[in-house]
Amino acid sequence: NGLEVVFLDNWSGLHQEIDLIHCFGGLDTLTVLEVAKARGIPTLLFLFMNTRQSVVRRFSRKVKYFIEKTVPFETLHKRLLRMVHLADAIVVLSQEHKKILTEDMQVNPEKIRACYLGIDAERFVGAEPYLFVDKYGLKDFVLEVATIQSRKGQLDLIRALDGTGLNIVFIGPLKETEKAYVKEFLNAVKSRKNVHWLGSLSHDDPLLPAAFAAARVHALPSYREGFPLVNLEAAAGGCAVVTGPYPGLREYLGDDYYNVVPGNLRSIRRAVCKAYEDGRQEARRSAMLNFSWDKVLEDLIEIYDELLTKRRHREC
Same domain as 251, residue 196: yes
Same domain as 267, residue 128: yes
Q: Give the domain CATH number at 186.
A: 3.40.50.2000
Instruction: Tell me the C-alpha distance between 168 and 278, whole Å.
Output: 17
Residue 207 belongs to some domain of the structure: yes
CA-wise closest residue to 123 among 243, 291, 242: 291
Instruction: Tell me the C-alpha distance between 258 and 164, whole Å.
Output: 18
Residue 14 belongs to some domain of the structure: no
Same domain as 296, residue 270: no
User: Residue 69: what pLDDT?
Assistant: 62
Same domain as 156, residue 276: yes
Q: For every one of its 316 residues, what pLDDT tens digit does the chain have, with 9 covering 90 and above? A: 678 888 876 566 666 678 899 988 776 788 888 888 888 899 999 987 655 444 445 555 566 666 666 666 677 777 888 888 899 999 998 898 888 888 877 888 999 999 889 999 999 999 999 999 999 999 999 999 999 999 999 999 999 999 999 999 999 999 999 999 999 999 999 999 999 999 999 999 999 999 999 999 999 999 988 788 999 999 999 999 999 988 888 899 988 899 999 999 999 999 999 999 999 999 999 999 999 998 888 999 999 999 988 888 777 6
Distances (CA, A) of 196 to 188, 191, 213: 10, 10, 17
Q: For the chain, what is the domain count?
A: 2
User: What is the value of pTM for the model shown?
Assistant: 0.86
Residue 15 belongs to some domain of the structure: no
Characterise 199 by phi-psi region: left (phi > 0), alpha (psi -120 to 50), beta (else). Answer: left
User: Residue 224: what pLDDT?
Assistant: 86
User: Residue 271: what pLDDT?
Assistant: 98
Q: Which domain holds residue 100?
A: 21-117+292-315
Same domain as 126, residue 100: no
Q: What is the DSSP letter of 239?
A: P
Distances (CA, A) of 246 to 7, 57, 149, 249: 31, 12, 18, 6
Same domain as 183, residue 64: no
Same domain as 179, residue 33: no
Residue 3 belongs to some domain of the structure: no
Same domain as 151, residue 109: no
Residue 16 belongs to some domain of the structure: no
Q: What angle do CA 90, 226, 285 make, to 5 degrees?
A: 100
Instruction: Tell me the C-alpha distance between 9 and 20, whole Å.
Output: 14
Alpha helices by DSSP H, listed for 40-190, are 55-70, 76-86, 95-105, 121-125, 130-136, 154-160, 179-190
Same domain as 266, residue 140: yes
Q: Map residue 178 onto helix, strand or coil.
A: coil
Residue ranges with strand state E in the chain: 21-23, 43-46, 89-92, 112-114, 142-145, 168-171, 195-197, 217-220, 240-243, 258-259
Contacts of 219 (CB under 8 A, 6+ apart): 142, 143, 144, 157, 242, 243, 260, 268, 271, 272, 275
